[in-house]
Structure 1
């Protein structure tokens, strides 16, 4: 605490008198400090103070040598926001789950993409999608798991179309979710050409066009990807279109990759009125054979053997076994699994709000057809009540999309840059230019992103930004459940084996979430760990 002395001087005092008084005051204070130190060392009590104004009072003046103590200013974050408008912010309010602590306002930070989209004020956002960007071990996955799991109490569902590392399986088992395993010696099959539910509010013609576009885009993406990203020629496009139409007729509108493969073989054998389609069928035929008789057989070539669980809080498609077979197999798997998920959840009539977590999001952008389908999916997310969470390690991940200067790469960067909600975690030195040029971030924020600790991120919501620490509100249970460093760090005593972990009911974590979600969440969090 700073010591302050108030001087009350007579009106007729000269400058020489004032200097003499100041010297006298300094001498008195110095002597008093020396005497106080001596008394403290000897353990003597404080001396009696002569007179009402304390020691050192000069003759003929009105001097007060008693120190004045000013108490520290105390105020709430709401008042501080008015006193220091560029330091303390009012935040996004208390709607949605608690994600962390706003380090600038020292207050809990709530976030829900649907609540911010519904906000008609200047703090609202125009999209429900989220871009998550950060280096390895910066806390991206753990933060997204925190957001998703805490959102379950608010009635939101979460879907992971392709869990390439198997890290979401443990979370799904812990919250009583559903895990669909591919390539684990099971007989699980997903049909990427499934029709899916009827879109509410669309005419018959609109619905058929949407289904047709999704099916043909999936086929073209698979074939171009397997051919090394080479764009298909016009005859090859015509061949695929003809084979798909014939497969739809032959299967009574239940086409599969096996049925399309059979029709391509027929075209290659001369069953067509256009002779140019015969040589054009070579590339598609060899690609589709991988799904029917090759290394991807038994996964996507026939009708689906599983049904999407509408009531499950978290649905995870475990593709970790297939990702171990190579990068191309991983990309083909992700396209097929994502196409199946999009077909079964694109129903507005379900009245459900869902997170779709796209780990390694760049793998969904491997061709122009896939990019166009991805772009349409992002645009329709609000219509279907979906929040796409696109996770990238760095902006350079998109360099794998097309050649330098190509239309594919330009479209990929444009789509990512248009995502309005962004969570920027710690980045490497090489990412500075990309953040400034590609995402148009301020230079001060770019410098800040290099210094962030694990679990801290800069959140851009609409026109506002926030510095958030997610882990400051995490319990030990959450932290051990959500961490992804098991392969390189020592294990804890908490057993998170999906085979033995006991599912936890959501209403046991957050009692009565529909009555008082804010107080229930806050009480549970503060009871587990003091909020820093």
Structure 2
């Protein structure tokens, strides 16, 4: 092959004839190289790109007859993030209240279950319910209080059916909400779990009657089954006796039944009443003993009569304070939570109110103590979107459900299934022994399960639909919020474990007014906290 010499000339100075001559020389060189049979010819002489000046002429300032073949760069996702630091997820958008900072993308993280459910993009949530799990002092309560309090400005109402520790009382009082305290020394408030509730709109009278009847039966059955745990389940004959007593109480009270009326029907059945059978007295014996606790036992004066308080639909937050009852026994705590939840559900199950509500269920596993309660709970979760409700179920750990039923029982399996089916999950720090439960019960990846063991206070792993985020909620807290939402009064300010949640004592009693919104969401960014280790607002 004769030696050929090429002179590199800027493309702007090439004549048309010269460009045609160069193309012919390149084609001749390729044909000659291929005829030699040299191996790897295609690798050494890649096909010329067709640029503005034709094949072999690049789009740069100078012409080159050989095209550079740059191999692709390979790297792990961790190293690749350093090469391209500005490639990050765009989050969930800016609809709804600000909850924290997305630590992966270093952007503000907004959350609204209703907006996400109505979202038509790939990041839509499949339900409005939220499962929250976290160990003690992981920041779960403070984060949920932040979410609920900030949501008030968006028109959402917050309802806490059973505040077993009295943590939400101070929050409700600060925002001008309603507090219903039961069981205390200075209160005579009474709730009737068999209240009919408001008339449902958009349904026929027959459908409304069926829904009210089923709710009342489910409440009575749940109370009785929770009390006789460890004994034989209710037999069909016992169910018949309970239902008959309820129907009789409805008739004699003009549709205003109470637990006392049901108990009286079981104690002294009326032979002349419709549907009466002689065996009603013996079949209702266990139910009669259970309901006697409400009428003349340790739960007297709470749930056996007509309600003495009314639910305020216009209050920004409604809290039922049951902290005075939870020191009695675990069974009393379960019965209390069943009754208060039934009363709340009766008064908010009205779609015509056109009100979106957070229903915060502290110690959520207590609502699932029996199979009947589980079925009712599952049905309520399914209807939450219909009523504009977002159920927030708060647990310490997944193994809390081990208190529901026996190992391998239908009750426990159903409880774990309900928790696993909740699409939105906020997972705070977990103890080491919970790692396997996170993988097997919640279907977390092993990497995320290990991450949950090392999360700092106020940082949580958020699962929203098919996407996940790591969010620092305390990074956007104001001093007013930190002092209001702090629940661990036993920890002194400045301790090593509590440096992210410092003590704050307000100068005066907080009162909810227009100026409070400025304190929650100041117009200008606040000065970062001196002890804040994460990103600030």
Q: TM-score range by the shorter chain?
A: 0.7 to 0.9
Map residues 2-13 of structure 1 onto 2, 5 A cutoff. Answer: none
Question: What's the secondary structure of 2:448's corresponding residue?
Answer: helix
Map residues 1-150 of structure 1 onto 2, 5 A cutoff. Answer: 83=84, 88-150=88-150
Q: Deviations over 1:328-372 (max 9, x none)?
A: 111100000000000001111001100000000000001111111
1:266 aligns with 2:264: no
1:504 aligns with 2:507: no
Cα offset for 1:268? 9.5
Pick from 223, 243, 246 the counterpart of residue 245 of structure 2: 243
Map residues 106-505 of structure 1 onto 2, 5 A cutoff. Answer: 106-185=106-185, 186-228=187-229, 230=231, 231-267=233-269, 273-489=276-492, 494-495=504-505, 501-505=509-513
Cα offset for 1:205? 1.4
**RMSD, matched Cα:** 2.4
Distance across 2 between alignment mates of 1:525 and 1:352? 31
Distance across 1 between alignment mates of 2:416 and 2:289? 32
Cα offset for 1:136? 0.8
TM-score for the superposition, normalised by structure 1: 0.79
Distance of aligned partners of 1:149 and 1:522 in 2 relative to their CA distance in 1, 3 Å threshold: closer
Cα offset for 1:267? 3.0
Question: What's the secondary structure of 1:412's corresponding residue?
Answer: helix
Distance across 2 between alignment mates of 1:529 and 1:200? 50
2:525 maps to what in 1? 526
2:75 maps to what in 1? none
Distance across 2 between alignment mates of 1:269 and 1:221? 27
Contact 2:480 2:520 in 1 (8 A): no
Question: What's the secondary structure of 2:401's corresponding residue?
Answer: helix
Question: What's the secondary structure of 1:439's corresponding residue?
Answer: coil
Cα offset for 1:521? 7.3
How many residue pairs match? The answer is 442
Contact 2:483 2:503 in 1 (8 A): no
Q: Deviations over 1:391-445 (max 9, x none)?
A: 0111111111111111111111111100000000000111111111111111111
Distance of aligned partners of 1:524 and 1:454 in 2 relative to their CA distance in 1, 3 Å threshold: farther
Gaps of 5+ in 2: 1-80, 495-501, 530-534
Cα offset for 1:489? 3.5
TM-score for the superposition, normalised by structure 2: 0.79
Gaps of 5+ in 1: 1-79, 512-519
Cα offset for 1:198? 1.6
Distance across 2 between alignment mates of 1:194 and 1:454? 41
Q: Deviations over 1:61-93 (max 9, x none)?
A: xxxxxxxxxxxxxxxxxxx999569x6210001
Question: What's the secondary structure of 1:300's corresponding residue?
Answer: coil
Distance across 1 between alignment mates of 2:153 and 2:230? 42
Distance of aligned partners of 1:182 and 1:88 in 2 relative to their CA distance in 1, 3 Å threshold: same
Question: What's the secondary structure of 1:415's corresponding residue?
Answer: helix
Distance across 2 between alignment mates of 1:147 and 1:302? 35
Cα offset for 1:102? 0.4
Distance of aligned partners of 1:521 and 1:264 in 2 relative to their CA distance in 1, 3 Å threshold: same
Distance of aligned partners of 1:525 and 1:328 in 2 relative to their CA distance in 1, 3 Å threshold: farther
